[in-house]
Amino acid sequence: MSILTRYIAAAYLRIFGLCLAAFIAIYLVIDFLEKIGRLLRFQPRWADLIHFFLLKIPEIFTQVVPLAVLMATLLTLGLLSRNSEITAMRGCGISLARISTPILVIACGVSFLTIIANEFVLPETYQKMRYIEEVLIRKKSYNTFFRQNNIWHKDGNTIMMARLFDPAHQTLGGITLWNFAAGLRPIKRIDADSASWNGRQWVLHRVTARELGRGGVTTTTKAENLPTTLNLTVEDLKVVDKYADNMGFLKLREYIRKLHRGGYETTRYEAQMHAKLSLPFASLIMAFLGIPFALRGGRSSGIAIGIGASIAIGFAYFIINSILISFGQTGVLPPFVSAWIANLLFALSGVWLAMTITR
C-alpha cells in the first residue's frame, strides 16, 4: 500500500467515523426522547433502559451508514480539494481513479459488514431488545413472544390445527391433523391431546387416528405416542420472528420456502428478501456517486455543501428505493428488479457525473 493510499484512507476513515458517530448519536437522542416518556410509566430499572437503547445501535448502524459513507466521501474530497491537495496529486500524474480507489474499497468493505450485521447481529439484538421492552420494562409475561392460540400450519398435503402452545414446556395442546389427497379430499384425520418437542420433531400423545373413505370413517386406531414429520419448529412459533424486516436473508429465504410449500403468496416477502442484499450496497453506491459529485465542485467544495448534498442525495435514494420496493411487494414490479433498480439508477448517475468531470 502506497503512502498516498494510506493518507487518503486514513483521512476518509477519520471523517467517516465522525459522521457515523454523529448520525448514530442524533438517532439515539431522538429515539430516546420519543420513547422515554412511555417507558418510564412502567418504572423500569435504568440498567434495563440503557441496555434497551444500546441494543438499538446495530439497527441504527445499518440504517445510517450509507448517509455516513456519502457525507464522508463529500467532506473528504471537498477538504482535499479546498486545500489544493487534489490539484497537487493531479499535477504529479496521479489519476482520479487512483485517488478514489481507497474510498471505494472502504465503502465496499462497509457494504459487506452491513450484510453480516443484517444476517447475524440484527436478528439477535432485535429479539433481546423486544424481550427487555416487553418483559423487563413493561412487565409482560414471557409467553407474549409466542403465538399461543388457534395455531394453523400447512405442510404439503397436511394441515395442522392446535388450540394452544405452552412455550415454557414447549408443548402443543388440542391438536388435529388432516391429510388430503388430490382435490383436497380428506383421507386421514389425527386427533391428539398434546404434543411435545423433543429437539428434532413433535411427538403426539394420546392419539386417535381415523382413515377416511368416500363414505366416511373406515378404520380407527389409537396410540399413546406417535412421532410426526411435521415441518414446524418451536422457533416458527415465535411472534418476533415473523417480522420480515428483522430476519436475515437466509432465514427469510427459508421462511419463503415454507410459505411456498404451503401454497401461500410470497411476493411481498421476496421483495424484502432481495432488499436484504441490495440495501447494504447503498454504501458503495453512495461512495461511487459522491466521488464525482465532490470532484466537480473543485475548491468551492466545503463542509456546508458536503453536508447539504449528502443529506439531499441520501434522502432521495431512500425515498425512491422505498417506493420501488413497495412496487415489488405489491407485484407491480418483479421483486428482484424492485430491490436493485434504485442502486442501478444511482450508479448510472455516478457514471454520468464521472464522465463529465474535467480531467
Walk along the chain (359 residues) in steps of 10 and give the mean pLDDT of each run. Answer: 88 96 95 93 93 94 94 90 84 86 96 94 89 85 62 84 82 90 86 91 93 84 90 73 71 82 79 93 94 71 66 90 93 94 93 76
According to the model, what pLDDT value does residue 241 have?
Answer: 45
Q: What is the 3-state secondary structure (H, E, C) of 126-180?
A: HHHHHHHHHHHHCCCCHHHHECCEEEEEEECCEEEEEEEEECCCCEEEEEEEEEE
- Answer for the pair 173, 164: CB distance below 8 angstroms, yes or no: yes
Predicted pLDDT of residue 168 = 72
In this prediction the pTM is 0.77
